[in-house]
Structure formats: C-alpha cells, structure tokens
Amino acid sequence: MRRMLLMGNEAIALGALRAGVTVAAGYPGTPSSEVLETLVKERRDGVYVEWSVNEKSAMEVGAGAAMSGARVLVTMKQVGLNVASDPLMSLNYVGVKGGMVVMVADDPGPISSQTEQDTRCFGRYAKLAVFDPSTAEEAYVMIADAFACSERIGRPVLFRPTTRVCHSYATVTLMEDRDVPRAEGFSKDGGRWVIFPRLAYANHIKIEETLKSLADEFSDYPGNILSGSGRLGIASGGVSWCYVQEAFRGVGEEHRLLKVSTLPFPVRLGEEFLRGLDEVLVVEELDPVIERELIFLSGVLGLNITVRGKLSGDMPNAGENTPDYVRDAIRKFLGTSGDHAVTSSKSAAEPVPPALPVRPPTLCAGCPHRASFFAVKEAAAGHKAVFSGDIGCYTLGNALPLDMVDTCLCMGAGITVAQGINRVEPDTANFAFIGDSTFFHTGIPGVINAVYNGADIIVAVLDNSTTAMTGGQPHPGTGRSISGAPARRVSVSRVLSAIGVDDIQRVNPFDLPSAKAAVTRALAGRGVRAILFEGECVAVSRKHENRCEVDEKICIGCSVCVKRLGCPALSIREKKAVIDQSSCTGCGLCKYVCPVRAITGGEAA
C-alpha cells in the first residue's frame, strides 16, 4: 500500500479515479480548482477531463455522460453552483445511470469568495444527498462512497469539502481501484430522460422515498460516528470535527461526541446521541445545519434538551472556525476553563507589538491590468464615469491608488450592471471591465443584451490569455485544452463583432499613449463600444527581462510612481524611488508617470 502526502483536492481526484470516474468537467474556482488539474496530471487511459466554459456547461456535460452510464465528476466552488443550479435541480428529477458526484467546495471565511453560502443547504433545497468530509484522507475514501451511493439511488449527489479540507494536506494511504463496469452508453429508455410535469410528479415521490430511506441508512454509514458517554454532548462535522478532536487530545474526560458527515441527517444515530443528554454544543461552519436537525429531532422525540450553537448565539454565525476558538467554546460549554485559556486577557507585562502592515491582496508587479486601469483612469479623468468590475484578479483594481472598480457582483455581471446604471444616469460614461475567461463564462449574453436593447456602454475586456486568479487555467480564448493540447481558439473580438459591436479597438495596455487614445476615442462615441486590452499575465509568462531601474541622480524622491501605480516592485528608500529587481518585469509603466524621467530600462513600448 502506497502512502502519499496529498492535498485535499489531490486526494479527491485520486479517490474519484479509484472509484472509476471516466468523465470530469468543471470551471476553476478557489478552493476547488486542483481536483481537475490532478485528474489531468494522472493521465489515465479512458478518462476524459475538460475545463468547461462555465459551471452550467460542466453540469450538463456531466449529465449527458451520466445518462450514458459513465461515472462522472463535476467540480466547482460554491458560487459556481448558483450558475449550475438550473441543470442540477432538474437532473435530480430526471436521474442518472452512472454515478455522478458534484463536488462543490465551500469557503468559510470567506477566504477567496463573494459569499459564505452553505452547499449543505442547497442539498436540502435541491433534495440531494450530501457528503461532507473532514480531512484529505477521509475525502479520498468518501468520494468512492459518494459514487456508489449515487449509482445505487440513480441520482446525482453532492460532495462538499471546505477550503480547510481542499487546501490542507495529509498522509493518505492509497487503496486498490474499485472494479467498475464500462459505461453501457446512451439508451433512449422510452422517454426516461425527458422531463415533463407528469414525470416530475412521479419522480418527486420517489425522491422523497429515497431521502427517507437514506436518513435511516446513513445512521450506519462509517463516516457518521457516535462515541463517548455523559450528559453533555458535542456534535460536529467538516473540518470543525478536527478542531473538536484537537480540543480533547490529551484530555482524559469522556463526553458524548457525534460526527455528522452526510445529509439526509442520520436520524437513528442522532436519536441515540440525544437520548440521555441535557445539553448539546454544535460546532460547525457556515449555516446551522446540524444544529437545526438536532433541535428538530429533539422536538419530534419530545426531548427536553438545550441545543447550543449559532442559533443560540453560543457560536459565531459568520466566518471560519479556528482550533483555538473551538477549544475555548468547548471548555466554556463543559464548564472547565482550562489551564491556559487563549482568548483570556493578556498579562500587563507582555510586550506590545509595533504597528504591523496590513496586506491586502495586490495586482502583481508588471500586471497588464494595472496598465489598463491606469490608461482608462487617465483618459476618463474629468468625465462623469462609473467603472463596473467583475470577478477575477482585476477586482483588485478597486484598491487605492487605482480605485477603478465601483461595482462587483458575480461572474459576468459587470456588463449588465453597467447597463442598469446607464438607464438611470444616461449622462454617465459606463465602463464594464471583464476578464477573458469571465467574458466566455457569462459575459457574452450581457453584450447581446446591450446591443439588442441599444445600451450605451464601453466594454473593456482585460485579456491576459488565462484564468489568472485561480492559478492560470486555459479557456476558450487561449487555444489550449486542460491537458495543454492545442484547441480551437475562440476569438473575443470576432465574438463581439458577430454580436454586432461595430466599434472594437485592440490595444497593448503597456503602450500607454495608444491605450489612452483608444479610451478617449471610445468616450467620444455612443452605443456599445469595446476596447480589448491585450497583455499576457505575468504570473503565467514569468517574463523578467530588461527590468526598470531608477537613476538616483535624477530621481527627486517625489514618490509619484509609488502613489499613482501601487506597483509592489516600487518603493521609496532614503528619499529615492527603488525598484525591486527580483519582482520587476520591465513593463515600463512607471517610466510614463515619472515627472523627471528618472526611470530607465524596461520594454521599449
């Protein structure tokens, strides 16, 4: 048996391969992206993997493959599930033939997301079973159980890790592949795959029956664990379970513990846990799912038990849990304050730390987005203008000193939000910034909407030839597939042109005079205009040639370069500008802003 050090997402991918997955699709999104990347790296024969254009497409590709009997994995982050919810809601009614696991990574905190939504609640809403692993090694085993469950009940199931499972790592012992028969292929089955009201009614009844029997079966599922004794109980799930374990490590005390790893809630096990208890503390992240189940079950059973958690105000209702917080909450609950309560007030003798820098995420040195934002900022100065943004690295353009993102809602929304603002304030220049991957994901319908309804907006496509924020995944505009093989390239400008955008300009953002001229020209026009800012992502190209340097004799230390660009390579030391040679890419943007031309080198743009 091979032991490997695996990241949670790697364990999920290897677990899916062990379970016989042959079709996998998804859209990148932190913290889910490494699952498909690992599947591709493994290069197993007969396993098809794709980055789909968006999560809805991924879900539908998966649906077709699962209808044809293949074992299918679909991956996304929690907000991606919002995009894919339409096909998933209906697919549960239609059902699948091959096991289909929809891996949705939640992000308590949130660390890299717009929302703190809880996919377990989506599971309840969509009437789907949910598997909720606590660790990388549990995820490796559990995903095979999820495939088996899905295939047995003939419906898709959700698999919901969180960031601290996806991006934690652990020693995992790999097991032998499961024996999975080949996919039979698509069979028409007399209309089984066509959703109609009558079929929906009949299948709704079956779904409810299935959920009821799963609630019973899951009481025997090895991932749901009941242990200990006493009159005080602690219930938990997900990574919080690990923090609960940590709190009890080395402590001799025995208490009743319940780990819940599935939905439907394991009712029989829950009853066994509750009977004989006076009080329960529920430790979970995001929504109070286990807490509500236990309160509900206490009510059904007529038990007089106090359930403490988020609803009672005993646990925080937003943000992620930490081992320290959980330990302190447990000690408080058990009435044992412990020997070194961490959150207690510090002794007066302890030294006070000096002021430390706040470090918001920043656009990289040499990022083409900085140049694009700067060009628009310069050219639009003096105009009444609103800058709608979108999801990606370029959301970071909201930070000072650029301050060029006024709205950010969800994938693809910038283009349409700009139209709405423009309807209320027609005298405003409305810019919509959108990245190349986001443009293909959900940007295109918004442009069609603008052309069709005669909107007055400037679409600024920030094309850096990659999906940068999530780690540089290819997309339809890159001409590469997930495996790096050549793929048909879909051209952003030809798509815009086909939609009916007549005014399209393509510029190199690092050629600041030309970029500014393009913006000035667009500002003078009306209707739907587009500017394509084309500059490769520096994190992908890793170009560090011909770096810029400051001539100390000329530099007057005015710090204009630092204050206007916010480039991490630029700083002021001893009243002179300094360019960090290890991070400068030689983009040359600072040369344009220096009032005394003290900066040399860089690309000859």
Beta pairing, strands 457-463 & 528-534: parallel
Should residue 540 be labelled a site residue for another protein when binding is judged by CB under 8 A?
A: no
8 A C-beta contact, residue 429 and residue 528: no
- Strand ranges across the sheet with 457-463: 385-388, 429-435, 457-463, 528-534, 503-507
Q: How far is the C-alpha of 174 from the C-alpha of 59, rounded, in Å?
A: 28
State which of residues 222, 276, 319, 361 lies at the interface with another protein (CB under 8 A). Answer: 361
Print the binding letters for residues 167-186 with another protein: x by CB under 8 A, - otherwise.
xxxxx---------------
Should residue 327 be labelled a site residue for another protein when binding is judged by CB under 8 A?
A: yes
Should residue 391 be labelled a site residue for another protein when binding is judged by CB under 8 A?
A: no
Instruction: Considering the complex, state which of residue 310 and residue 327 has its C-beta at the smaller distance from another protein.
Output: 327
Minimum distance of another protein from residue 409's CB (angstroms)? 17
Treating both helix axes as pointing N-terminal to C-terminal, what angle do 413-424 and 444-452 enclose, rounded to 10 degrees? Answer: 30
Should residue 377 be labelled a site residue for another protein when binding is judged by CB under 8 A?
A: no
State which of residues 342, 498, 556, 596 lies at the interface with another protein (CB under 8 A). Answer: 342
Q: Which two tokens stand for residue 335?
A: 């009435």
| Beta-bridge partners for 4 | 172
Which residue is associated with the tokens 């090895």? 222
Should residue 542 be labelled a site residue for another protein when binding is judged by CB under 8 A?
A: no
Should residue 124 be labelled a site residue for another protein when binding is judged by CB under 8 A?
A: no
Instruction: Considering the complex, state which of residue 154 and residue 323 has its C-beta at the smaller distance from another protein.
Output: 323
Instruction: Considering the complex, state which of residue 401 and residue 525 has its C-beta at the smaller distance from another protein.
Output: 401
Residue 502: CB atoms within 10 A of its CB come to 12
Beta pairing, strands 570-573 & 548-550: unpaired
Instruction: Considering the complex, state which of residue 121 and residue 562 has its C-beta at the smaller distance from another protein.
Output: 562
For another protein, the binding residues in 90-119 under the rule CB under 8 A are 111-112
Instruction: Considering the complex, state which of residue 10 and residue 145 has its C-beta at the smaller distance from another protein.
Output: 10
8 A C-beta contact, residue 578 and residue 541: no
Q: Applying CB under 8 A, what is the total number of residues that bind another protein?
A: 61
Instruction: Considering the complex, state which of residue 242 and residue 515 has its C-beta at the smaller distance from another protein.
Output: 242
State which of residues 400, 424, 485, 604 lies at the interface with another protein (CB under 8 A). Answer: 400
Distances (CA, A) of 301 to 192, 236, 272, 297, 328: 40, 21, 11, 6, 31
State which of residues 82, 85, 312, 362 lies at the interface with another protein (CB under 8 A). Answer: 362
**Half-sphere exposure of residue 341: CA atoms within 13 angstroms, side-chain side:** 12
Should residue 568 be labelled a site residue for another protein when binding is judged by CB under 8 A?
A: yes
Should residue 246 be labelled a site residue for another protein when binding is judged by CB under 8 A?
A: yes
Choose the binding region for another protein from 43-51, 94-102, 305-313, 568-576 (rule: CB under 8 A).
568-576
Treating both helix axes as pointing N-terminal to C-terminal, what angle do 323-334 and 240-248 enclose, rounded to 10 degrees? Answer: 60
DSSP for 50-111? EE-SSHHHHHHHHHHHHHTT--EEEEEEHHHHHHTHHHHHHHHHH--SS-EEEEEEB-SS-S
Should residue 162 be labelled a site residue for another protein when binding is judged by CB under 8 A?
A: no
Choose the binding region for another protein from 151-159, 243-251, 294-302, 480-488 (rule: CB under 8 A).
243-251
Should residue 147 be labelled a site residue for another protein when binding is judged by CB under 8 A?
A: no
Which residue is associated with the tokens 């924020």? 469
Should residue 194 be labelled a site residue for another protein when binding is judged by CB under 8 A?
A: no
8 A C-beta contact, residue 219 and residue 197: no
Should residue 228 be labelled a site residue for another protein when binding is judged by CB under 8 A?
A: no
The dihedral region occupied by 194, where left means phi > 0, alpha psi between -120 and 50, and beta the remainder, is beta
Should residue 505 be labelled a site residue for another protein when binding is judged by CB under 8 A?
A: no
Should residue 355 be labelled a site residue for another protein when binding is judged by CB under 8 A?
A: yes
Could you list the beta-strand ranges (E) of 436-523: 457-463, 503-507
Should residue 30 be labelled a site residue for another protein when binding is judged by CB under 8 A?
A: yes
Should residue 562 be labelled a site residue for another protein when binding is judged by CB under 8 A?
A: yes
Instruction: Considering the complex, state which of residue 199 and residue 560 has its C-beta at the smaller distance from another protein.
Output: 560
Minimum distance of another protein from residue 102's CB (angstroms)? 21
Beta pairing, strands 225-227 & 528-534: unpaired
Query: Which residues have C-beta within 8 Å of that of residue 345, sequence separation ≥ 6?
Result: none
Alpha helices, DSSP H only, in 197-342?
Answer: 197-217, 240-248, 267-274, 289-301, 323-334
Minimum distance of another protein from residue 423's CB (angstroms)? 32
8 A C-beta contact, residue 100 and residue 55: no
Choose the binding region for another protein from 147-155, 197-205, 245-253, 517-525 (rule: CB under 8 A).
245-253
State which of residues 3, 43, 188, 198 lies at the interface with another protein (CB under 8 A). Answer: 3
Should residue 567 be labelled a site residue for another protein when binding is judged by CB under 8 A?
A: yes
State which of residues 131, 243, 394, 510 lies at the interface with another protein (CB under 8 A). Answer: 243
State which of residues 75, 119, 135, 437 lies at the interface with another protein (CB under 8 A). Answer: 135
* Binding footprint of another protein on the chain (CB under 8 A): 3-5, 7, 30-31, 111-112, 135, 164, 167-171, 239, 241-243, 245-246, 249, 322-324, 327, 340, 342, 350-364, 393, 396, 400-401, 469-470, 559, 562-563, 565-568, 570-572, 582-583
